[in-house]
Amino acid sequence: MGKCNLDHSAEDVQQKFNLQSQWLPEDIRSLFHEFLVRNPSQTTLNEMFHLLKKYDLVDEQERKERDRKIKWLILNKEDTKA
């Protein structure tokens, strides 16, 4: 995945999740709300957005890697922004 210089809002991430949710594993779908209510940092929002971007178009190996990273972001209890 290439780097993007745009910052993505929580709303952008939610919209991207909504578009891709039918292809995501159930465990990710059921935990996603927890991710957003923790008020993740801008860096984390950007990373999540790009993991979700074009999720439906990637091959199975890439999906497994993205699933692993998405789960880590969801379950990682980072300090939230002020």
pLDDT tens track for 5-47 = 689 999 999 999 999 999 999 999 999 988 999 999 999 999 9
pLDDT at 1: 45
Put residue 54 in one of left, alpha, beta given phi > 0 → left and psi -120 to 50 → alpha: left
Read off the pLDDT of each residue in 59-82 and give the average, rounded to a whole number.
84
Q: What's the predicted TM-score (pTM) here?
A: 0.86
Q: Decide: 43 and 80 in contact? Cβ < 8 Å.
A: no
- Assess whether pLDDT exceeds 80 at residue 69: yes
